[in-house]
């Protein structure tokens, strides 16, 4: 098949593991080697900020089942790529050449500390989760910097353990991801759970604190707590690709088939792909999977493979709310409530623009994704009240370019 | 080959149904119905079963070979 004998997958998260598996499913019979910089075999990130942080499940529960016949090499950090010769150099000095390469080096947590003496906790890796779980256990008061899905899930895991939690974010929490209406629902649930909110007018800074840990400087006021956790977005791991010859611009820039160069594809949080209004990174779990599958077929079948189709799907669990959303939720426009009411907190929501559905979400309601996608894209036959006669374009559901949440991008 | 369903883990995303509707289905309450529970998956459906297992975002499905 295409003369490929040895394919390297660089990265051990869901994108890397999925790509490796998809190569096998796609019929590739050569060698597949997955290289990860971490000491752990590939694992999935969504549970890190949920059950693993509360202690309900052990870190091992995040480890992924790989398909047969995939060689995993841990502690192998890629430090340089020669795209033309498809050669990779690793931190231990090894240089290896491949017939095909999947770049899936993901992203890392953005840090805000501006001094090395400040201890800054973030949540991205399985080790971070294990460390934080211990730190949370022995803290009474916590400050979470960042009110996106990750920060909110961390805060939720902390109040479940009866900690005093303050969330600091200059922006209204969750508004960018789920719009004003759902953000209000979430904030109310968080406040009912005892969370305090601070909304500074300036960027938040960290300072060192006597006895270790960090203090948060909010609009010039110093706030001390037992533990500070930063959840301020993520940065794609592209520095190692400097000088590789690839197009790097806030991520690995790829074409419609996830190609970065001949024989080199990319998938997951490291990817910046084209959408109608420019380039965008989509750090979501399902997008990482879909990109990995598409990237693997591209390596095997070239342009005969299906192009990557951007279909954002996002879920979060926090403060007793299980929220799932498809499409791009408009920030300030209110949704139509198709089922349930704001008071009973079991909802099916749909957002339209110019009479065309653009997004849909459920709160505490199980709905097959097939149906949710239909609600986000077209008028469902099963809900006659929301029937619309408008035609609508396909693939019009764009995740807002370059907003971030992690730890795994769900 | 069998598929093991962990219903405590299942959150009703329905991705398995999207990938392999002939094997998986969420009922009206969002509970997962799996057609070969406790039985071997027929040869012809094994690839789809494996596909359905692999897309589960909460690892509620496992393959037993």
User: What is the nearest CA distance from B18 to chain A, expressed in angstroms?
Assistant: 6
pLDDT < 70 regions, chain B? none
Rounded mean pLDDT, A156-182 = 96
Rounded Cα distance between A252 and A360, Å, is 30
Rounded Cα distance between A382 and A365, Å, is 16
Q: Where are the beta strands (DSSP E) in B1-65?
A: 2-5, 24-26, 32-34, 61-64
Q: Is pLDDT above 80 for A26?
A: yes
Judging contacts by C-beta atoms under 8 Å, the chain B residues touching residue A16 are: none
How much is the pLDDT for A325? 97
Using 50, 70 and 90 to split pLDDT, how confident is the model at A399? very low
* Contact assessment for residue A189 and residue A155, using Cβ atoms and an 8 Å cutoff: no
Rounded Cα distance between A300 and A294, Å, is 10
DSSP character string of A283-318: --HHHHHHHHHHHHHHHHHGGGSPPP----EEEEEE
pLDDT tens figures, A322-353 = 999 999 999 999 999 999 988 888 999 999 99
Helices (H), A74-163: 126-137, 149-160
Q: Does B45 touch chain A (CB under 8 A)?
A: no
pLDDT tens figures, A244-267 = 999 999 999 999 999 999 999 999
Angle, helices A285-301 vs A14-25, to 10°: value is 40
* Contact assessment for residue A45 and residue A408, using Cβ atoms and an 8 Å cutoff: yes
Judging contacts by C-beta atoms under 8 Å, the chain A residues touching residue B59 are: 44, 61, 64
Number of CB pairs, chain A paired with chain B, less than 8 A apart: 56
How much is the pLDDT for A3? 81
User: What is the nearest CA distance from A98 to chain B, expressed in angstroms?
Assistant: 26
User: What is the nearest CA distance from A367 to chain B, expressed in angstroms?
Assistant: 6
Q: Does B57 touch chain A (CB under 8 A)?
A: yes
Rounded Cα distance between A207 and A225, Å, is 12
Chain center to CA of A260: 21
* Contact assessment for residue A409 and residue A283, using Cβ atoms and an 8 Å cutoff: yes
Rounded Cα distance between A214 and B34, Å, is 49
Q: Is pLDDT above 90 for A110?
A: yes
Q: Average pLDDT, whole number, for chain A?
A: 90
Q: Encoding tokens for residue A208?
A: 């060192």
Rounded Cα distance between A107 and A315, Å, is 19
Q: Give the pTM.
A: 0.90
Residue partners of A162: CB distance under 8 A and separation at least 6: none
Rounded Cα distance between A277 and A326, Å, is 19
Highest-scoring range by mean pLDDT, A73-82, A269-278, A388-397: A73-82
Q: Does B17 touch chain A (CB under 8 A)?
A: yes
Q: Average pLDDT, whole number, for chain B?
A: 93
Cβ separation B26–A322 shorter than 8 A: no
Judging contacts by C-beta atoms under 8 Å, the chain B residues touching residue A47 are: 58
How much is the pLDDT for B28? 87
- Residue A407, CB half-sphere, CA atoms under 13 Å: how many? 25
Cβ separation A25–B15 shorter than 8 A: no
């Amino acid at each position: 098949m295409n003369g490929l004998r040895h394919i390297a997958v660089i990265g051990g998260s869901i994108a890397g593991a999925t790509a490796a598996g998809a190569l096998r499913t796609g019929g590739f019979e050569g060698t597949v080697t997955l290289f990860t910089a971490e000491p752990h075999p590939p694992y999935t990130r969504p549970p890190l900020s949920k059950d693993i942080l509360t202690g309900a499940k052990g870190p091992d529960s995040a480890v992924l089942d790989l398909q047969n016949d995939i060689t995993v090499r841990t502690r192998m950090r890629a430090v340089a790529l020669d795209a033309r010769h498809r050669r990779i150099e690793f931190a231990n000095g090894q240089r290896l050449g491949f017939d095909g390469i999947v770049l899936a080096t993901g992203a890392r947590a953005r840090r805000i500390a501006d001094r090395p003496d400040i201890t800054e906790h973030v949540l991205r890796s399985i080790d971070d989760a294990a460390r934080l779980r211990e730190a949370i256990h022995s803290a009474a008061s916590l400050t979470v910097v960042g009110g996106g899905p990750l920060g909110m899930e961390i805060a939720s895991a902390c109040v479940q353990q009866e900690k005093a939690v303050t969330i600091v974010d200059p922006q209204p929490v969750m508004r960018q991801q789920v719009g004003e209406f759902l953000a209000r629902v979430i904030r109310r649930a968080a406040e009912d759970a005892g969370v305090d909110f601070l909304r500074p007018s300036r960027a938040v800074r960290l300072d060192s604190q006597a006895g270790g840990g960090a203090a948060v400087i909010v609009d010039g006021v110093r706030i001390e707590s037992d533990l500070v956790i930063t959840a301020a977005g993520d940065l794609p791991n592209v520095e190692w690709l400097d000088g590789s010859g690839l197009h790097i611009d806030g991520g690995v820039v790829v074409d419609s088939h996830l190609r970065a160069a001949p024989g080199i594809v990319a998938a997951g949080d490291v990817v910046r792909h084209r959408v109608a209004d420019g380039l965008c990174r989509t750090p979501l779990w399902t997008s990482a999977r879909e990109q990995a599958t598409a990237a693997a077929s591209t390596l095997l079948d070239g342009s005969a493979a299906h192009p990557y189709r951007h279909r954002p799907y996002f879920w979060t669990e926090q403060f007793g709310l299980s929220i799932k959303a498809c499409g791009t939720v408009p920030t300030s426009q209110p949704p139509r409530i198709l089922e349930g009411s704001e008071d009973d907190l079991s909802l099916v929501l749909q957002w339209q623009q110019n009479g065309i559905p653009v997004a849909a979400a459920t709160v505490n309601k199980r709905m097959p994704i097939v149906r949710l996608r239909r609600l986000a894209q077209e008028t469902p036959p099963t809900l006659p009240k929301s029937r619309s006669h408008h035609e609508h374009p396909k693939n019009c559901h764009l995740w807002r370019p370059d907003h971030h949440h992690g730890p795994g991008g769900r | 080959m069998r598929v093991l369903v962990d219903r405590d883990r299942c959150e009703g995303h329905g991705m398995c149904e999207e990938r392999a509707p002939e094997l998986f289905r969420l009922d009206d309450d969002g509970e997962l119905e799996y057609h070969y529970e406790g039985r071997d998956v027929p040869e012809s459906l094994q690839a789809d079963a494996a596909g359905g297992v692999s897309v589960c975002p909460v690892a509620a499905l496992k393959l037993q070979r």
